[in-house]
Amino acid sequence: MSLDLQNSGLSDALVILGAAGLVIPAFARFRISPVIGFILVGILVGPNALGSMIGQVPWLYYVSISDPEAIAPFAEFGIILLLFSIGLELSLKRLWAMRGMVFGIGAAELLISGLVIGLALHLLGQPWGGAIGLGLALALSSTALVLPIAGMTSPVGRVAFAMLLFEDVALVPIIFMLGALAPTASGEGWKGLTDVAIAGGITVAILYIGGRLILPRLFAQAARTKSPELFLAASLLVVIVGSVATAAAGLSPIVGALLAGLLVAETEYHGEVEAIISPFKGLALGVFLISVGMQLDLRMVARYWPELLAAIAGVMLVKAVVTTLLLRVSGARAGTSAETGVLMASPSETTLIVLTAATAAGLIQPSTATFWTTVTAIGLTITPLLAKGGRLIARQIERQMGEEAVPAELADEQGTVIIGFGRVGRTVADMLRAHDKPYLAIEADIDVVNAARIEGYNVRFGDVARSDMVDRLDLGHAQALIITMDDPVLSIRLTRRVRGWVPALPIIVRARDANHAAALYRAGATDAVPETLESSLQLSEAVLVDLGVAVGPVIASIHEKRDEMRKEIKLAAGLDRDPRIRRVRGERAVEG
């Protein structure tokens, strides 16, 4: 079967995948955010650049996107996956604790910024209905760009997330309000808003109750199969069901995606789910950024650049000032307030949705919507630059005010990380608990995890064969790593990977035999404990004593054999020190 490259869907898919393969490594090489790269690719391959030249140069069809509207659903799905992953990093308890910030600062930022921008536009000649619609649209900030840049653990990230969460919740009510303000609207618009609020509340309650009952069982079955494909299918099913349910109730689908993430975060599987959907989220987000770039018409930018520059500067100035002042009044540090204000200053991807709704309602003219769409696309493009500028401004303010910069919130000290919770891992955990040492165990068998947690062990489900899962363990803050799993190849690969990442971390690994121990030492293990060798020595000691051989000569021969094994491992591993091979009982007296 031959590939039909004349199929626009296939051709566009190849362009997007090719762009991802080029943009991500190229921009990472120069330490530039790939956000800018994807948007530039969108500008280049979109209908306003190479796409407009297909008639003159037919072969450009294969390196441009011929149907921008066809990729729009994939771009929206990228935002949905982003909100789902954000929910995975949260918890319902933490979200409830943020309610004051969400509905306080978040609401105030949106309403005040929208009012100021709308008032300015009205003074410039825009009718009140259109001014309100444009003001609210431009007051929104980009969830898709701000959160990946700021994260959710830094002071800036936590505040930004609270404001963005309120904006996402308020999106659908804003659209209904614009419909009610339409010149031809009747009182049905406000009634529809009330109906959506009721239906949305009922839907969220049903999803919450159903999710708490069903999700643990669903993911437990997926985990027992040890099939990444089934786990991915279950994860996508949860995202789609949550998004479709809230969309059917009249809310934004991203609200359902966020709720689905929060519910999964309450289970044992959130780390595995987050790791398995991460590549798809990144690719879908790249599609979204390409779609943003395709909306930029460079000819229009060149023609109206003074007006566009003034509009972008005005919107960003208003939002930055309002956000900074609100945060300062609420008690945030000066540097944090300024950095958050600058980062949140650009418009949002949801601005485009509100502009479409305002145009459909007859509140603004299509030409006006086109102008502000270009402003939004340019604003999204420079968001990474705003992030860097905000950090520089924050440092300067803190330096002048004599404040110390607030570092990102570090992960809690997790002590020792144990990978594998079979009989060996359980014994290690028992010894650590006996001496009041904190630990975290990772196990890929969900039945073992459930049984261990019932007994009070600190065990988390996760498959360390996936590199993403290892990255999320934050081993840079661990005191030691113990690898007890019975998989020689994986233990060597994992040891080598972690040693390259955390050079000073003590890594103690269970080894099968002398050869395996030598390979582990070469991979960077601090200590490799060959259990079969030590058990064979203990068996030899027991049988010799039972056969009537004097204890003294037996111990001497055991020491001699242990020293011989130590030298073999040292030679095979190329070590400049003697490896540890000791018996637990007998303390230092029996060490060779």
What is the total residue count of the chain?
592
* Highest mean pLDDT out of 141-150, 179-188, 529-538: 141-150
pLDDT at 153 (0 to 100): 64
- Residue 381 CB-half CA count within 13 A: 21
Res 32: pLDDT = 64
Question: How confident is the model at residue 183, as a pLDDT?
Answer: 66
Among 6-10, 167-171, 246-250, where is mean pLDDT lowest?
A: 6-10
Give yes or no for a contact between 510 and 530, defined as CB atoms under 8 angstroms apart. Answer: no
d(CA 432, CA 435) in angstroms, rounded, equals 5
Residues 6+ apart with CB under 8 A from 388: none
Q: Per-residue pLDDT averaged across 20-42, rounded? A: 71
Residue 520 makes CB contacts below 8 A (sequence gap 6+) with: 491, 492, 495, 509, 511, 528
Residue 409 — very low, low, confident or very high, per pLDDT cuts 50/70/90? very low
Nearest alpha carbon to residue 495 among 523, 531, 474, 467: 523
Model confidence at 496, in pLDDT bands (50, 70, 90)? confident
What pLDDT shows up at residue 123? 92
Q: Which of 501, 461, 467 is nearest to 481 (CA)?
A: 501
DSSP 332: -
Contacts of residue 251, Cβ cutoff 8 Å, sequence gap at least 6? 172, 196, 200, 203, 204
Tens digits of per-residue pLDDT, 32-81? 667 677 778 888 887 777 777 777 877 777 777 767 777 777 777 777 88
pLDDT in tens, 312-348: 999 999 999 999 999 988 888 888 889 999 999 988 8
Q: Mean pLDDT highest for which of 147-151, 218-222, 240-244, 483-487?
A: 240-244
**30-38 CB contacts, 8 Å cutoff, 24+ apart:** 32/384, 33/149, 33/384, 34/286, 35/145, 35/148, 35/149, 35/289, 35/383, 35/384, 36/381, 36/384, 36/385, 38/286, 38/289, 38/290, 38/293
DSSP string, 464-484: TTSHHHHHTT-GGG-SEEEE-
pLDDT tens-place string over residues 287-307: 777 877 787 777 888 888 899
Q: Report the interhelical angle of 349-360 vs 143-150 (nearest 10°).
A: 170
Residues 338-376 have pLDDT tens digits of 999 999 998 887 887 788 778 877 888 888 888 998 898
**pLDDT of the residue at 576:** 66
- pLDDT average, residue stretch 377-405: 77
DSSP conformation letters of 489-548? HHHHHHHHHHHHH-TT--EEEEESSHHHHHHHHHHT-SEEEEHHHHHHHHHHHHHHHHTT
If residue 262 lies in a helix (H) or strand (E), which one and from where to where?
helix 253-265
In tens, the pLDDT along 530-586 reads 876 666 666 767 766 766 778 777 777 777 777 777 677 777 767 766 666 554 334
pLDDT at 117 over 90: yes
The tens digit of pLDDT for each residue in 183-239 reads 655 555 556 667 777 887 888 889 889 888 888 888 888 888 777 788 888 888 888
